[in-house]
Amino acid sequence: MNITFRYLENKTCDFKLLYNWCKNEYIFKWFEQRELSFDEIVAKYQKKLNSKKQDLFIIKYNNHEIGFLQIYKFENDIDLKCIKKNQNIYEFDLFIGEEKYLDKGIGTKIVSVVNNMIYSKYNADAIILRPFKRNIRAIRCYEKCGYKIVDEYRGLDTINNPEIFLILLNIKKINY
């Protein structure tokens, strides 16, 4: 299983790829909560690319482009007693956009590779994830990859609907 990443580029072909994936209900149900138009996809991801606050990637599996990953520094916008101030903490969001690659264990492999990348490339102390509490499939995947549920909170999704979010934490293991 060869999992690699390439940076998302400010090109029509990359935006078309995202658009085609994001119009699938199994993606927008968890990622945007509604189907976005092509122009909305372009505007959203051009803004993210220009801000340089996140690293945006296309996920490749055996050289096939199958999904999307964004990695960003954790903004301590929620009170977490399980982390110390000044820790280097990151978050990520991802999805597999090609349906034929679902339910094959590939997501778990991708999360493991992403964890290793964040700990090595970004020198993170921990990784935090905040999925919807009702996103059982994602939570199971994260738990298989060493994440522990440490808390939950009420917040708003991307279209301002109330949601309960779980807080999952993965702390870097130090080998002696």
Query: Domains of the chain, with CATH numbers?
Result: 3-127 (3.40.630.30)
Task: Check pLDDT > 90 for residue 77.
Answer: no
Task: Check pLDDT > 50 for residue 176.
Answer: no
Q: Are 137 and 30 in contact (CB under 8 A)?
A: no
- Chain centre distance of CA 88: 17
pLDDT at 159: 87
CA–CA dist 169, 148 (Å, integer): 5
Contacts of 86 by beta carbon, 8 Å cutoff, 6+ apart: none
pLDDT digits (tens, 9 = 90+) for 12-55: 999 999 999 999 998 988 888 888 999 999 999 999 999 999 99
CA–CA dist 73, 64 (Å, integer): 28
Interval 155-167 mean pLDDT = 91
- Chain centre distance of CA 167: 13
Give the 3-state secondary structure of residue 175: coil
Other CB atoms within a 10 A radius of the CB of residue 158 amount to 12
pLDDT digits (tens, 9 = 90+) for 51-61: 999 999 999 99
Distances (CA, A) of 33 to 81, 132, 158: 29, 11, 7
pTM of the full structure? 0.91
Interval 96-123 mean pLDDT = 96
